[in-house]
Structure 1
Amino acid sequence: MGPRIREEDVPLDYVEDDKVKIKIKITDNDPDWKPMEQIVWTNVIWYLVLHIGAFYGLYLAWTQASWATIIYTAIFGELCLLGVTGGAHRLWAHRSYKASLPFRLFLLICNTACGQNSVYDWARDHRVHHKYSETDADPHNSNRGFFFSHMGWLMCRKHQLVAICGRKIDLSDLTADPLIVFQRRHYMKLFLLFSVIIPTLIPNLFWSESLWLSYWFCAVTRYILQLHITWLVNSAAHMWGYRPYDSSIASAENYFVSSLALGEGHHNYHHTFPWDYSTSEWGWSFNLTTMVLDSARKLGLIWDCKSVTKETIAARCNRTGVKRD
């Protein structure tokens, strides 16, 4: 017998807008909604400036940076990503494990330094994405192409269904968490501190790297690279790869994305079993986040890690994916 399909995981055909009291059909692609007609030019200019700055930071790193600065930026960047993969995603969006206050605070700081919006907003969009994947209610609907699902969705106004369905998602667990409420209320100040000021100052204070280089490489270039790594989960991992668990969905096992995104590219598994803390049945393979979480569990920092039995996985594969013996 396969796993029970939960109601909250099944996309609806229609959704009622609480504001105007009408029912709107959820479709894969609304032919009347064209992203090119919804462009927010301030966002386009902002991302253009950031990418120019990121390339400049790479140039400075290539020509001037010390090895200490390069290694530091790589390690700091991995910690930032962990705040998204292990924090915003697996802990707060999916509640796939429980964590102690010190570990939650650590993940929240890493998440803030990554600069991908507050945990509240990130988790809300992600829960909507899972419930309405590859429809117009999905913030980064991959049916609209690679660029849209990768970063174009951040450069245009959201489809009305994203907002309507977002208002229907239960976020009471997040509003009841004082850490999440505090981060959301003070997000921009915390972001400037942990993502810009601190990573810029550390190389200057500890090994006399110039502030100019530290800012452009350690803050701007790192930030843009982190964004693209995360965006690949929304784009590449929803288009290319292997689908052994459920061949009917777009999300796929993409090991290139997993190697970059600390394990988040095991995406066919994750969308089939979203409550699994490891997002994969293969443990530490291409999954640095699981390695960190398993280490934290041994130290008693996290517990109640949800997982899926081998029997359930095999049953699901035989029913919707690639059959197993």
Structure 2
Amino acid sequence: MSDVLKPSRKTPPPEMAAISPPLSPTLKLKKVPKELSPEESSEVPDNYVSYTLRNNKPRDPITWNNIFRELNYLTLFILTVTPAIAIWGLFTVQMQWKTAAFSVFYYFFTGLGVTAGYHRLWAHRCYNASRPLQYFLAAAGTGAVEGSIKWWCRGHRAHHRYTDTELDPYNAHKGFWWSHIGWMLVKPRFKPGTVDISDLSKSPVVRWQHRWYVPLILGMGFGIPTMVPGLLWGDFLGGFVFAGAARLTFVHHSTFCVNSLAHWLGETPFDDKHTPRDHVVTALVTIGEGYHNFHHQFPMDYRNAIKWYQYDPTKWFIWICSRFGLASHLKSFPDNEVRKGQLTMQLKRLRETQDMLEWPVDGEELPVISWQSFQKQSETRPLIAVAGFIHDVASFMDQHPGGRNLLAKNIGKDATAAFFGGVYDHSNAAHNLLAMKRVGALHGGMAHGSEERMIPPSQKLRVARYNEMGSPYNSSTALSDGEGLLGY
């Protein structure tokens, strides 16, 4: 047999082999690569939100013509039928005090399932929970009928990552009622931004609840609140109406207030970059979730309220669980960093006040006058030199508390020693007022070592932004030890 290979369908002639691909029994089509997100590729855009919105087409705007196609009917059913049952029962079913008390208890029971479980344990991993506590919180949270842990936390992590943007499922910039309830009643215009929920997918408790969610909500949402009053004191209907439907309505809107009221009512003591705010009223209606400005700044902290007197039963519940060994590794943000946030906001408010006040003319903008010129001009104007500046005291001659003569005898002279204790050690207010009367800078300025006297007390801790630190205004001001600019 010849050693030379004969051409065949599998082996093309030698002259064609270089340009002929080998044949295979199966035709393999090359996949068109999908457009990768910045997280999947090495390219990092300048702004992830803008990049995502630019590369994702939104749903059509909601109009009267398409409203019925855009409604989320399951959520609409739950959020309308439940309060309707509660209102019907309020007028037709007699409430027993035992049922009322149990309804309040069950409200906190299921509410804590959301605040301590869904929110602080699973969404933010603020602490570690033992397996029994995890099952307890998963079951209790299911009774609030707000979706599974996995679904709820996916949306909430997107809310934190994309706060106040189109990728935020309950964007507060779209209005109070949108962030409170509207976002659930219609299909989202944009798919919520991507987040990592791999830790939840691995959790056996989360998987268990997600798998059995429908039976669990029937049992925890209406079964237990109906059966407990029914079996213990014969009030099945009251249990269904008040501990079931009415309690569920309160739990729903309590949680919804975290998305709406907590972004609308209150103050921003830690940061004002986004809409979250702190207010005790919101805390009262959300089982402690009302200190929302703190929470958005320090989301991994197991607390919402950091002061002992602030209302945060969820924090107390987690702390008590840790005392009994059911919870551990309670995370709290370093106090030093928390106080930096507070200081930043205090400085910003001080800056706003500072910008509304009138200040002395900067030394760099004043004309420089020689001693001879100063004395000559003093013959026609009441000019006095103090701390290297020349002041026109004409409007103050008759208002001087020490009398007109004390000023008159220092006209045309350097009264620095007299002003700073030689005659009277003037108050800070007097120094501030004197600085407002500057009309010139004395050539040669102050003697070395006395520069701090040039600075009015109100300006020794002046608030300055970082980009103002090197400005001519500040460079003209000599700063002594312990005195300077408060920057932010």
Same fold (TM over 0.5): yes
Distance 2:72 2:113 in 1: 29
Task: Give the residue type in structure 2 aligned to 1:81.
Answer: G
Provide the residue aligned with 1:135 in structure 2.
165
CA spacing shift, 1:103–1:138, aligned 2, 3 Å: same
> Secondary structure at the residue paired with 1:219?
helix
42, 46, 49: which is aligned to 2:81?
A: 49
| CA distances 1:225-255 after superposition (whole Å, capped 9, x unpaired) | 1101111110011111110100221000021
Distance 2:220 2:81 in 1: 21
> Secondary structure at the residue paired with 2:55?
strand
| CA distances 1:20-57 after superposition (whole Å, capped 9, x unpaired) | xx7249xxxx9974487554163445533222112123
> Secondary structure at the residue paired with 2:95?
coil
Provide the residue aligned with 1:14 in structure 2.
50
Distance 2:89 2:153 in 1: 30
126, 129, 153: which is aligned to 1:96?
A: 126
| CA distances 1:181-230 after superposition (whole Å, capped 9, x unpaired) | 01111101111011111110100100111x22221211111111110111
Matched, 1:273 2:273: no
CA contact (8 A) 1:246 1:272 kept: yes
Distance 2:131 2:55 in 1: 42
Distance 2:342 2:313 in 1: 25
RCO (CA 8 Å, sep 6+): is it higher in 1 or 2? Answer: 1
Distance 1:186 1:11 in 2: 39
Provide the residue aligned with 1:301 in structure 2.
326
Report the Cα offset of residue 116 of structure 1: 0.8
CA contact (8 A) 2:111 2:144 kept: yes
Matched, 1:112 2:112: no
CA contact (8 A) 2:85 2:241 kept: yes
> Secondary structure at the residue paired with 1:13?
helix
Provide the residue aligned with 1:3 in structure 2.
none
215, 223, 231: which is aligned to 1:197?
A: 223
The alignment covers a number of residue pairs equal to 301
Task: Give the residue type in structure 2 aligned to 1:72.
Answer: F
Distance 2:308 2:274 in 1: 23
Task: Give the residue type in structure 2 aligned to 1:194.
Answer: M
Distance 1:121 1:283 in 2: 33
Matched, 1:240 2:271: no
200, 205, 222: which is aligned to 1:179?
A: 205
Matched, 1:40 2:66: no
CA contact (8 A) 2:72 2:184 kept: no
Matched, 1:322 2:346: yes
CA contact (8 A) 1:113 1:191 kept: yes
| CA distances 1:61-115 after superposition (whole Å, capped 9, x unpaired) | 6xx1211110011001101000000000000000010011111111111111111
Task: Give the residue type in structure 2 aligned to 1:231.
Answer: F
> Secondary structure at the residue paired with 1:110?
helix
| CA distances 1:128-173 after superposition (whole Å, capped 9, x unpaired) | 00001111111111111111111111110012241xx2xx311111
Task: Judge which range, 49-58 or 293-302, deviates more.
Answer: 49-58
| CA distances 1:274-300 after superposition (whole Å, capped 9, x unpaired) | 110112322462100111111111111
Provide the residue aligned with 1:312 in structure 2.
337
CA spacing shift, 1:124–1:41, aligned 2, 3 Å: closer
> Secondary structure at the residue paired with 2:284?
helix
Q: Which runs of 5+ in 2 are unaligned?
A: 1-38, 40-45, 351-485
Distance 1:45 1:58 in 2: 20
CA contact (8 A) 2:111 2:141 kept: yes
222, 227, 246: which is aligned to 2:252?
A: 227
Kindly report which structure 2 residues correspond to 1:55-66, keeping only aligned pairs within 5 A, or say none. 55-60=87-92, 64-66=94-96
41, 49, 68: which is aligned to 2:98?
A: 68
CA contact (8 A) 2:280 2:310 kept: no
Task: Give the residue type in structure 2 aligned to 1:248.
Answer: K
Distance 1:284 1:118 in 2: 33
Matched, 1:154 2:192: no
Distance 1:35 1:86 in 2: 39
CA contact (8 A) 1:136 1:161 kept: no
CA contact (8 A) 1:60 1:217 kept: no
| CA distances 1:254-273 after superposition (whole Å, capped 9, x unpaired) | 21111121110100000011
Q: Which runs of 5+ in 1 are unaligned?
A: 1-6
CA spacing shift, 1:106–1:45, aligned 2, 3 Å: closer
Provide the residue aligned with 1:213 in structure 2.
238
CA contact (8 A) 1:97 1:277 kept: yes
CA contact (8 A) 1:14 1:24 kept: no
Is the helix fraction higher in 1 or 2? Answer: 1
